[in-house]
Structure 1
Amino acid sequence: MAIAKDIYVQHQPEVKRYYYNPAVECISREELLALQWLKLKKLVEHVYHTNKFYRNLFTKNKITPEDIQSLEDYRHKVPIITKQDLLNDQNEYPPYGLRLGIPETKVVHTHMTSGTSGIGQEVYGLTRPDVEYLATWPRAWYAAGIRRGDVVVNPFPMNPVLAAPDSLISGFAKMGVNGFHLGMYPTHQKLDIMRRFKPHFMDISPVYLTRMTVICQEMGIDPKKDYCFKAILTMVGSFEVDWALEMQEFWGCKLHEGYGSTQAGSLMGYTCENGSVPNGQRGRIHLMEDIILFEVLDRETREPVKSGEEGEVVLTTLSRSGSPLLRFAMDDKVRYFSYKECDCGRPFDTIECGTIARYDDMIKIRGMNVWPQAVDSVIFGHKETSEYQGRVYVTEDGREEVLVQVEFKQGIGDQVKGDLINRMAVELKEKVGVSMTLEEAKEELPKFEFKAVRWTDERLKGRQKIAWRL
């Protein structure tokens, strides 16, 4: 790895840029594309001759490595694969599928997806070089101002088969920070431990940062006085700009955002020194295009979207020998922006901060596409709310209904709660186009530390009950 550098931007002496790996973060776009093509060409040749899953895919589509002479050839000739393709392969050739591509004796670690989509867990076998190479977190930490010896907190649950916790451990060692893994402790105890050791940085989900903020207030903790945060990096969840600005004010530091996945094996995107909400606007997440080939495609046409448009992430792992992925449809909905849209000088294309969503999270209700993130923005747009749960069901007479139970923070009066319930019902109708019944939660709702699961769809069960009566 090249030596990290702190560089003042030419013509902008007040702006300081932090490059953990200037050998790739400071190259030109043309040099980056050349590097991508070199890696991709070797990858295609390698999997064609050593990986039965991709050899079968290429044979089925009547292509060979010689047919792919450019990045455009690759995009037009190699078919997109999906989660179901991987699950079918694993079911037929358990546990890793033919896609593993290496002897099982070379696997030193196994990652599995969380399975929250409900259709099964993808399995990825990694070699020792894969594990070491995929410790990509230091790029994000360094850009956020973190340095060797700083105290870094990981509050995520330590499930070692998920890529995030496992790669965090490798990243801590690679960066040389003093890492604290606190996922096994309750929130109050986490905050007490943090008060003792004065952390400089924390990786956390937006939903759990909100939870920590509430508990800090209940415990009388002032992060500006009791901690030493330089920055906080959020992942695994969308957020509103106003929320991010409030968090920055409360915690006394800049918010950053990362983008990662088990499919990539680690972090694959990070905000530069500008952070998540520079000048009160949504920032940009720089994609690590030297190790992942990203495409952001229109969901229907499968053509690349233009800068500023939304699309689905399709990725190719350029630097992994175990369980490689070629043109895998992530089901992640992002807003794409060209590398030119950020002034930091990095050659990597970007996606918008705070708006990453999942296509498989979308719920169709009464013919309307309802995104949970849109409901989040309404409910959590009011400071008095702390959590909610949504339920879609079918009534006995066959009507589709939506019930949203809202939990309020302590000390909110009944009159205020009633007014907010009515106001949020109107706002939700205007925002998503679907009428929803809102009520105050009768008991404490579940809290989340990693991925928030707030919606249940009971329509199939309801329709079956009606069918049984006929």
Structure 2
Amino acid sequence: MKVELPHGYWNPRIELLPRSDLKELQLKRLRHTIRYAWENSPFYRNLMKRHGLFPEEIRTLDNFFKRFPITRRDDLDKDQLDNPPYGTRLAIPPESALRYHTTSGTTGKPPVKAFDSERDWIWGGDAWASSLYNFGVRADDVVMIAFGYGSFIGFWGAHYGFEKIGCRVLPTGGMDTKKRIPMILELGVTTLCCTPSYAIRMLHVAKEEGVNLARESKVDKIVVAGEPGASIPSTKKVIESGFDAHLGDFMGTTETAGMMASMCSKLPGGLHINEDRYLTEVVDPDTLKPVGYGDRGMMVVTALVKEAMPLIRYATNDIVILDPNDTCPCGRVFDLFRGGILGRYDDMVKVRGVQLTPQMVEEIMRGFSEVDEFFSTVEERDGLDSLIIKFELRKDLEPSTGEDISLQIKEQFKTKIGLTPEIEVAPRDSLPRFELKSRRFKDLRTRH
């Protein structure tokens, strides 16, 4: 790596609290959030009434976990469909909102509309600043944000987080990759902010343009979010070696309107949760009972400082493993997600008895440096479920090498997953490229 990441605390008063004091802060903010939602959000007031629950009955965190109902994406969708255009979760007049964003959209579902108040946006920017500072970003960094700046919340919060730290920020929303690469070199960009897919895309285009970003650029930190790539070992290796830079995984959602968890400079692969702002649980996806440290489960989140649209006990469908804060040597009080987001329960599919996720496919495919791009589908062929993988060879390789690479890919899937896919070499530049969240995996079966 070009540099060793610096270590420090953005807000040591909070980040170094004793764990017991953090729990007291969470409870105080939680009780305020529930009372606020009852008084201002018809969605939550009606939800609590249906379950015979009143704000004053929530006196402890344990009491909250046992009594407050979990909500899901379908609940938000139905609320907005039944009460267009914003639903009844909104707790402020629409004209008082500062910003409007939407989710990136789940296949077959309309995006969720989300509002932020001025207070939400200040808190959100500070959450990003705290996370970026903990990763190693400092005021002398020159930052390129390779993001379209549309209604998807994406890196909007990151932009203000970088500015809060004091960085020089280069928004490049209207540029294509071939224009961004010379700017990285000319302006001495030290921190790149994008999705993992787009970081790989930049490496491919740079190579085509004869640019070695590891040697010629000053990029030493890459901040990625929007998809799990940074926590997939083979993907992380490709990006870090291609830039000779540290890769940091950051996670948040449009619904929470902020940075929930981020990679620490002291523990690559561990994402500290901003627990002063978010109360997180990990539960069994079937029973909804809590699971312990080190066990895989579904993340449920409560935003503790959300004003415009409260979010309470929201099941994200993300697969996570929770580790205690002392797993990391940095000294911060916040617990961690081991390996970041490991996938989504609604992305898991079963193929010939094997549980498969997009992350499992990417882990194998990114291990082949000969592969430029890939796309996978699950289809029914001749009455059997089949995993189909199409890939493009790197442009500097002869087409004749495709057959040998295909055999190697098949063997890796058979050995690591227990499933042998059908492999197809696709024509160059025929597969989709991604700047925002990638969609390299589709289940095309009519039955699941």
Q: Report which structure shows greater RCO (CA 8 Å, sep ≥6).
A: 2
Shift of 1:192: 0.9
Which residue of 1 is the match for residue 265 of structure 2? 273
Shift of 1:149: 4.3
Partner AA of 2:145 in structure 1? N
Matched, 1:406 2:397: no
Structure 1 residues 459 and 145, CA gap change in structure 2 (3 angstroms): closer
Which residue of 2 is the match for residue 258 of structure 1? 250
The C-alpha deviation readout for 1:154-182, integer Å capped at 9, x for no partner, is: 112221x2222322332233222211122
Which residue of 2 is the match for residue 183 of structure 1? 173
Shift of 1:355: 4.8
SS at the partner of 2:138? Answer: coil
- CA distance in structure 2 between the aligned counterparts of 1:47 and 1:96, rounded to whole angstroms: 16
- CA distance in structure 2 between the aligned counterparts of 1:268 and 1:62, rounded to whole angstroms: 30
- CA distance in structure 1 between the aligned counterparts of 2:333 and 2:422, rounded to whole angstroms: 47
Among the aligned pairs, what percent are the same residue?
29
Shift of 1:354: 5.3
- CA distance in structure 1 between the aligned counterparts of 2:398 and 2:47, rounded to whole angstroms: 62
Q: Which moved more, 1:405-414 or 1:194-203?
A: 405-414
Which residue of 2 is the match for residue 211 of structure 1? 201
Shift of 1:242: 4.5
Shift of 1:289: 0.6
Shift of 1:95: 1.4
Partner AA of 2:50 in structure 1? K
The C-alpha deviation readout for 1:55-112, integer Å capped at 9, x for no partner, is: 1111111111222110000000001000111111111111111110212221121121
- CA distance in structure 2 between the aligned counterparts of 1:137 and 1:19, rounded to whole angstroms: 13
- CA distance in structure 1 between the aligned counterparts of 2:162 and 2:145, rounded to whole angstroms: 10
Shift of 1:256: 1.7
Shift of 1:225: 4.2
Which of residues 351, 374, 378 in structure 2 aligns to 1:388?
374
Matched, 1:350 2:336: yes
Superposition pairs for residues 136-155 of structure 1, below 5 Å? Answer: 136-155=127-146
Partner AA of 1:403 in structure 2? I
Superposition pairs for residues 21-170 of structure 1, below 5 Å? Answer: 21-135=11-125, 136-159=127-150, 161-170=151-160
Conservation of the 8 A alpha-carbon contact between 2:270 and 2:337: yes
SS at the partner of 1:98? Answer: coil
Conservation of the 8 A alpha-carbon contact between 1:145 and 1:230: no
- CA distance in structure 1 between the aligned counterparts of 2:180 and 2:232, rounded to whole angstroms: 26
SS at the partner of 2:144? Answer: strand
Which residue of 2 is the match for residue 194 of structure 1? 184
- CA distance in structure 2 between the aligned counterparts of 1:224 and 1:247, rounded to whole angstroms: 10
Matched, 1:449 2:419: no
Q: So what's the TM-score if we normalise by structure 2?
A: 0.92
| Root-mean-square deviation (Å) | 2.1
Shift of 1:361: 1.7
Matched, 1:426 2:411: yes
Shift of 1:341: 1.0
Q: Which moved more, 1:432-441 or 1:374-383?
A: 432-441
The C-alpha deviation readout for 1:286-316, integer Å capped at 9, x for no partner, is: 0001011111112122222222221111000
Which residue of 2 is the match for residue 9 of structure 1? none
Partner AA of 1:294 in structure 2? T
- CA distance in structure 1 between the aligned counterparts of 2:417 and 2:189, rounded to whole angstroms: 40
- CA distance in structure 2 between the aligned counterparts of 1:145 and 1:229, rounded to whole angstroms: 13
Matched, 1:284 2:270: yes
Give every structure 1 segment of 4 or more consecutive aligned residues whose post-TM-superposition deviation is greater than 6 Å: none
Gap regions ≥5 residues in structure 1: 1-13, 277-282, 464-470
Structure 1 residues 295 and 195, CA gap change in structure 2 (3 angstroms): same
